[in-house]
Amino acid sequence: MTMRNKQELIQQVVNLLSAMIEVEELPSTTPPSNEQVEMLTIKECAQQVSGLSEHTIRQLVLQNKLPHIRTGQGKRGKILVPKSALLEYLKTAA
């Protein structure tokens, strides 16, 4: 089988699969580049919402109920939560 035959066969398989599978466009999860995302530490989250303790925020992070990133290495890394995600979670939880 020549390289040209292989390429034609691969193209036919791709076309067949494309016809069989309906491709969905997933919404972009990344914010627009010109929009800045405000990130809060655990302490700052607790200060933003009265009655919400640092312990509660840590539990929400551990349960993956709040999106977060950890800066640094291991357990000593600082946890950062997007402010918009915190406010959105509080709206849906209320």
Find the domain containing 63 and state its range: 33-93
Who has greater pLDDT, 17 or 92?
92
Say what the pLDDT of residue 58 is: 93
Length of the chain: 94
Cβ atoms of 65 and 89 within 8 Å: the answer is yes
User: For residue 9, is it within any domain?
Assistant: no
Which pLDDT tens digit goes with each residue over 12-66? Answer: 888 877 777 765 555 655 655 667 889 999 999 999 888 889 999 999 999 999 9
Say what the pLDDT of residue 68 is: 93
Q: Any residues with CB less than 8 A from the CB of 90 and at least 6 apart, and which?
A: 49, 52
CA distance 48 to 51: 10
Say what the pLDDT of residue 66 is: 93
User: For residue 41, is it within any domain?
Assistant: yes
Query: How many structural domains is the chain composed of?
Result: 1
pTM (two decimals)? 0.59
